Amino acid sequence: MSTADNNKRTELGALGEFGIIDRIAENFKTHKQASTALGIGDDAALIDCGDFYQVISTDMLVEGIHFDLSYMPLQHLGFKSVSVNISDIAAMNAIPKQITVNVALSNRFSVEAVDAIYDGIQKACDTFGVDLVGGDTTSSPGGLMISITAIGTAEKDTVVKRSGASSGDIICATGDLGAAYIGLQVLMREKAEFKANPNMQPKLEQYDYVVGRQLRPMARMDVIHELGKLGVVPTAMMDISDGLASELMHISKQSNVGVNVFEDKLPIHQITYENAVEFQLDPVIAAMNGGEDYELLFCIKQDDYEKIKNLPDVHTIGYIQDLEKGRNLVSKQGNVYPLKAQGFTHM
Ligand code: ADP
Ligand code: MG
């Protein structure tokens, strides 16, 4: 790359995940293809196919970084790796159609293990109505990696980017937040306890909900279909993979607007509350800065509020305001806290 200086070494951690992506994007300014309608920077890329857009997104899951096989069943891993990609297609208000799957396997894994992963991939393909149309299989020196590309289609007049929000829009979040992060804490504690005492019987029943949210996230295509039926096109949308605060920052930056969200409006499941308290974790921090909920964050025009207000799984959490008014979380007591770009970064 033209900016590389052979004598200089900058640690990856100095830039972080988003900094690295920005740097890559800045160094690739040229667009050679007229059909490249939207490139790096949204949940998925858009390719102009004349009457419609083709929507493409890719995500990689790496053992030891994104999952730990001591608590992640292989079927669930297969399902999750598809679901997180479908979630990015949903975030464009698009319909997923095909996936390709790349796997890197070491000789630690058996044929049966590969069958189990693909069993989960098959379940996800059935759930989301997509076809597996290709991929690549290679060896790895140790860990397991799965990289999936999802391909979908979007109508040109209903595709939704991160950049379309404007002052006065209502901010909505689907489902509930923070559970996947609390589920991860449960699983990590169980792993540590099992290491200390391999004879122990794990007692996970009271954590079924949060553990399920961590192991088996469900992309919210159901909400996309509901919005479609109601004729509601969000002004901006993305999926919540890195925690609500980080995603609000993305919408704010890319739409050039401020945000105001209310702590008492955050959708947090009662069980998440109870489990978080037991782990001495703050459920609001789990919702704002945890990760992997794979819910949708979107903005709508005020005029559309009547249409969505009865959807049980869509919650209004705040509103878009002018950029000068800032990006704020308003606490239950009415205190205003500026949002921090504290993403869920693996680096
Ligand atoms: P998401 O969390 O929605 O999957 P990411 O934060 O992973 O999105 O990526 C943000 C944007 O940066 C996306 O448009 C993605 O395609 C792009 N991107 C991420 N990594 C790279 C890379 N190594 N090279 C080019 N583009 C990248
Ligand atoms: Mg995304």
| Residue 14 lies inside a defined structural domain of this protein | no
Taking the CA atoms of the chain, what radius of gyration do you get in angstroms? 20
| Residue 126 lies inside a defined structural domain of this protein | yes
From residue 122, alpha-carbon distances to 88, 102, 148 in Å are 19, 15, 13
Per-residue confidence (pLDDT) for residue 347, from 0 to 100: 37
**Distance (Å) from CA 334 to ligand 1 centroid:** 36
d(CA 26, CA 171): 29
Mean pLDDT, residues 40-45: 96
Mean pLDDT, residues 158-163: 98
pLDDT value at 118 more than 90: yes
d(CA 88, CA 94): 9
The angle subtended at Cα 237 by Cα 233 and Cα 239, nearest 5°, is 135
Nearest C-alpha neighbor of 76 from the set 158, 183, 191: 183
* Cβ of 304 below 6 Å from ligand 1: no
| Residue 210 lies inside a defined structural domain of this protein | yes
CATH number for the domain harbouring residue 230 = 3.90.650.10
- Domain extent at residue 58: 31-155
The angle subtended at Cα 343 by Cα 339 and Cα 346, nearest 5°, is 165
Pick the last residue of a domain from 155, 184, 208.
155
Round the average pLDDT of the chain to a whole number and report it: 93
- One domain, residues 190 and 333: yes
**Distance (Å) from CA 205 to ligand 1 centroid:** 36
Burial annotation 132-152 (CB, 10 A radius, 16+ → b, else e):
beeeeeeebeeebbbbbbbbb
- One domain, residues 241 and 274: yes
What tokens were used for 224? 């996309």
From residue 318, alpha-carbon distances to 161, 228, 324 in Å are 19, 22, 17
* Cβ of 246 below 6 Å from ligand 1: no
CATH number for the domain harbouring residue 134 = 3.30.1330.10
Per-residue confidence (pLDDT) for residue 233, from 0 to 100: 98
* Cβ of 21 below 6 Å from ligand 1: yes
| Residue 52 lies inside a defined structural domain of this protein | yes
pLDDT value at 319 more than 80: yes
What tokens were used for 3? 């900016």
| CA 228 to mean position of chain CA atoms | 21
- One domain, residues 197 and 286: yes
pLDDT tens-place string over residues 210-254: 999 999 999 999 999 999 999 999 999 999 999 999 999 999 999
d(CA 166, CA 236): 9
Place of tokens 């008492």: 264
**Distance (Å) from CA 118 to ligand 1 centroid:** 25
| Residue 320 lies inside a defined structural domain of this protein | yes
- One domain, residues 306 and 178: yes
- Cross-strand pairs, 142: none
Mean pLDDT, residues 175-193: 94
**Strand, helix or coil for residue 90:** helix
DSSP annotation of 200: P
To test ligand 1's pocket by mutation, which of 21, 87, 241, 293 has the most ligand atoms within 8 angstroms of CB? 21
| Residue 10 lies inside a defined structural domain of this protein | no
- Do 294 and 219 contact (CB within 8 A), yes or no? yes
Place of tokens 């949060």: 210
**Distance (Å) from CA 21 to ligand 1 centroid:** 6
pLDDT tens-place string over residues 242-277: 999 999 999 999 999 999 999 999 999 999 999 999
* Cβ of 16 below 6 Å from ligand 1: no
Per-residue confidence (pLDDT) for residue 345, from 0 to 100: 44
Percent of the chain having pLDDT more than 90? Answer: 83
Which phi and psi angles does 12 have, rounded to 5°? -55, -40
- One domain, residues 95 and 191: no
| Ligand 1 atom closest to 17 (CA) | 6
Indicate the number of domains in the chain: 2
- One domain, residues 219 and 298: yes
d(CA 26, CA 42): 15
- One domain, residues 326 and 183: yes
pLDDT tens-place string over residues 58-115: 999 999 999 999 999 999 999 999 999 999 999 999 999 999 999 999 999 999 999 9
| Other beta carbons within 10 Å of 263 | 19
- One domain, residues 137 and 212: no
- One domain, residues 107 and 201: no
- One domain, residues 134 and 178: no
- One domain, residues 202 and 84: no
The angle subtended at Cα 248 by Cα 317 and Cα 213, nearest 5°, is 75
pLDDT value at 204 more than 80: no
Nearest-10 Cα torsion for 336, 236, 234, 283: -40
Residues contributing to the annotated binding site for Mg(2+):
43, 57-59, 88, 136, 239, 242
pLDDT tens-place string over residues 130-150: 999 999 999 999 899 999 999
Residues contributing to the annotated binding site for ATP:
118, 135-136, 162, 241
Pick the last residue of a domain from 99, 130, 155.
155
- Dmax (CA) of the chain: 62
| Residue 345 lies inside a defined structural domain of this protein | no
What tokens were used for 203? 């007692």
Query: Which pTM value belongs to this model?
Result: 0.94
| CA 149 to mean position of chain CA atoms | 14
d(CA 79, CA 100): 14
The DSSP-derived string for 248-261 is HHHHHHHHT-EEEE
**What confidence tier does 343 reach under pLDDT thresholds 50, 70, 90?**
very low
- One domain, residues 130 and 70: yes
- Do 104 and 138 contact (CB within 8 A), yes or no? yes
Q: Can you give the three-state secondary structure of 94-132, one letter per residue?
A: CEEEEEEEEEEECCCCCHHHHHHHHHHHHHHHHHHCCEE
